[in-house]
Amino acid sequence: KEQDWVDNRNFLVLEREYSRLQPYLQYLENESLNTREKQQSKNKENKREERLGPIDDEISGFQKKILEILEQKGKLKAGEVSQFLPELTSRTVRRHLKILKAKKLIEISGNGPQTFYKT
């Protein structure tokens, strides 16, 4: 506009048309983000199903809950996992963690009071 390449009337028409396109472009951008987020969520669920696979039937409900907690929170100590499952004693939680490790569904790092569990 300032460089006078386009006639003022034409420039006004261009501005008006671009302003009409802006909401549509914003809508497309939002749809693209929503689609990407849904795909990432679906991929995460598929990876979880691949990892658990047929073992899913062989683990208890509490063990599934422990896996979900570890997936959401990341690396936790046994006592921290116990806080999410107040209906279980800390000893029972440690037993479930040991079973999950034996089935290679979780990893352990550290030892003693500094033992951490993660998926």
Q: 59-118 domain in CATH 2.40.30.10?
A: no
Q: Which residues of 75-100 are buried (b: 16+ CB within 10 A; e: fewer)?
A: ebebeebbebbeebeeeebbebbebb
| Category of 118 on φ-ψ map: left (φ > 0), alpha (ψ -120 to 50) or beta | beta
pTM reported for the whole predicted model:
0.53
Q: What are residue 117's DSSP bridge partners?
A: 76, 108
Average pLDDT over residues 91-104: 90
pLDDT above 70 for 11? yes
pLDDT above 80 for 1? no
Helix 90-102 and helix 61-73: axis angle, to 10°? 80
pLDDT in tens, 32-63: 888 888 888 777 777 666 655 555 557 788 88
